[in-house]
Amino acid sequence: AGEGGETEEEEDLFDVLQRRIEAQRSELREGRQSIQAAVSGEVKDLRAAVEGERRELVGVHQKYREALDELARLRALLTETQGLREGAEANVRSARAGEEAARGEKEAAEKELLWERERLERAAGELEAARGQLEGNEARERELRD
């Protein structure tokens, strides 16, 4: 009877241990599922955060590229403007030099005209004197003939 009691007791103990093991396995499964659900939720949140950061980074990168393009455009415009300014300054210098040359030529022409006027006035005076002599000579010739 002792053996039967021990066997029954061992079977009861075995059943208790088996139920405990099953309960622990069940708790372990539930714990794993809970951890997986939590990790899955955190992974989803992390993925969403990473995707948001990626989109923001792409936007920042795009703005950076646009800023670089705008900077290059402005540098080209500045270079073009500097070239135009230098050309305009050269044109102003050339115009001033032309103005100075024209002023010099005008003064030289005025002096030449004044000299030519004086020469013509002298020549006119000489012609008047010659005409007076000619008229005087003609008058003497008439007197001599008459």
- pLDDT > 90: what percent of the chain? 71
CA 132 to CA 126: how far, in whole Å? 10
pLDDT over 60 (residue 32): yes
- pLDDT over 70 percentage in the chain: 96
Q: In the chain, which ranges are E strands? A: none
pLDDT for residue 85: 96
- Report the pLDDT averaged over residues 73-84: 96
Question: How large is the average pLDDT for residues 40-52?
Answer: 92
What is residue 79's three-state secondary structure? Answer: helix
Residues 79-90, mean pLDDT to the nearest whole number: 96
Query: What's the predicted TM-score (pTM) here?
Result: 0.45
Q: Convert the pLDDT of each residue in 10-30 to its tens digit.
A: 788 888 999 999 999 999 999
Using DSSP's 3-state secondary structure scheme, residue 66 falls into helix
Band (141; pLDDT cuts 50, 70, 90):
confident
